Amino acid sequence: MDLDSKIYVAGHRGLVGSAIVRKLKEKGYTNIIYRTSKELDLTDRTQVDQFFAEEKPEYVFMAAAKVGGIVANNEYPADFIRDNIMIQTNVIDASYQNNVKKLLFLGSTCIYPKYAPQPMNEDSLLTGELEPTNEPYAIAKIAGIKMCEAYNRQYGTNYISVMPTNLYGPNDNFDLETSHVLPALIRKFHEAKINSKHTVEVWGTGNPKREFLHSYDLADATVYLMNHYEENQFVNIGVGKDLPIKELAEKIKSVVGYEGEIVFNTDKPDGTPRKLVDVTKLSNTGWEASISLDEGLKSTYDWFLNNIENGTRVTK
């Protein structure tokens, strides 16, 4: 990408999209375009076609998606599979119809089988059953990967897909009903601290292991891969190490300064036992993560304090 290339970031207000916009600006890119969901409904093909025909972006970062944690995926499976398939189909095909030079599609490591060998290698895709709690979302993302691969084969496009591990950082979703585990725990511990609660409940046994990547690291990786990666097979993005939810909870408890007890509710689901990605392919491209979990948790909690009140965004 040239510094004046016209770059469209779909989903620019979310955790991933906002980090990509920030990273592009840091690196000197000057022609970045985006629209809010009210300005452009990506589930509406007519609106998407009109936008691409008028704006003619050269590069597309496909970061728009309907996302959520285990609760949201369980309660709204139809919404997750329908909306995500519609969004990505519209953007990918409109990119082809309007001669986009390169597109980067963002997926999720939930695409891997529930019991995939650890760490999860790109070749493990479609080798086993998915985790039932997020299967509709995972199937939508798998469809996006395969759509990019199919367009590359049939039309000679240059569409790449990346699968980031669990993400966190500024502009995350801290709603307890729809958020992922890390932001949910930040909010739980914070509210327990300010309300002087003696205990904080954490779902499950605390034994499942998870890997966490800061959104700024992901953004750096996507810009790097957009400029340096050409292969048809998708590539994992992660840090290459994980930790039990119990340990994560203790780290967040310490960062927040909560002094009560952690109680694990074993009647609640654990989800996938482990989700560690193999980052060998990514490392071979010359990129690796730079933000440690301890550093990232502290900066994310600071952002939460400055921007979130009672689980909603503060307008400043």
Number of Cβ atoms within 10 Å of the Cβ of 47: 16
pLDDT tens track for 97-126: 999 999 999 999 989 998 899 999 999 999
Q: Checking DSSP bridges between strand 209-210 and strand 274-275, what pairing results, if any?
A: parallel
CA angle 65, 69, 71 (to 5 degrees): 125
Residue 2 domain-assigned (yes or no): no
* CA distance to 16, 107, 240, 299, 314, per residue, from 39 (Å): 19, 24, 38, 31, 21
Is 199 labelled as part of a ligand binding site? no
Task: Give residue-wise pLDDT tens across range 22-62.
Answer: 999 999 999 999 999 999 999 999 999 999 999 999 999 99
For the stretch 163-203, pLDDT in tens is: 999 999 999 989 887 778 899 999 999 999 999 999 999 99
17 marked ligand binding residue: yes
Its sign, for the CA torsion 242, 122, 1, 147, is: negative
303 is in an annotated binding site: no
Average the pLDDT over 2-9 and give the result: 98
Segment 2-12 mean pLDDT:
98
Q: 1 in a domain, yes or no? A: no
227 is in an annotated binding site: no
Q: Using CB atoms within 10 A of its CB, is residue 259 exposed (0-12), middle (13-18) or buried (19+)?
A: exposed
| Number of domains the chain contains | 1
Confidence of residue 312 (pLDDT cuts 50, 70, 90): low
Q: Helix, strand, or coil here: 275?
A: strand
- The catalytically annotated residue of 29, 34, 137, 168 is 137
Nearest to 209 by CA among 278, 119, 289: 119
The confidence score (pLDDT) of residue 309 equals 63
- Residue-number span of the structural domain to which 174 is assigned: 7-313
> Which class for 196: exposed (0-12), middle (13-18), buried (19 or more C-beta within 10 A)?
exposed
Of 226 and 67, which is predicted with more confidence?
226
144 has binding-site annotation: no
| 210-227 confidence digits (pLDDT tens) | 999 999 999 999 999 999
Cα–Cα distance, 281 to 141 (Å, whole number): 20
Say how far apart CA 117 and CA 263 lie, in whole Å.
30
State mean pLDDT over 4-19.
96
Do the annotations mark residue 16 as ligand-binding? yes
Q: For residues 61 and 20, is the Cβ–Cβ distance under 8 A?
A: yes
Return the C-alpha torsion angle 236, 239, 245, 247, nearest 10. Answer: 170
Q: What distance in Å separates the CA atoms of residue 61 and residue 103, rounded to the nearest whole number?
A: 6
List, in sequence order, every residue forming a beta bridge with 60; answer none if it has no partner.
Answer: 8, 103
Annotated catalytic residue 258: no
pLDDT band for position 315 (50/70/90)?
A: very low
Mean pLDDT of 123-138: 93
- Cα–Cα distance between 183 and 175 in angstroms, integer? 8
| Confidence at 68, pLDDT banded by 50, 70, 90 | confident
Split at pLDDT 50, 70, 90, the class of 308 is confident
Q: What pLDDT shows up at residue 131?
A: 87
Report the CATH number that the domain containing residue 274 is assigned in CATH.
Answer: 3.40.50.720
Q: Per the annotation, does 210 bind a ligand?
A: yes
Q: What pLDDT score does 73 carry? A: 77
Q: pLDDT digit string (tens) for 238-295?
A: 999 999 999 999 999 999 999 999 999 999 888 778 889 999 999 999 999 999 999 9
In angstroms, the CA 64 to CA 85 distance is: 11
Compute the distance between CA of residue 250 and CA of residue 268 in angstroms, rounded to an integer: 19
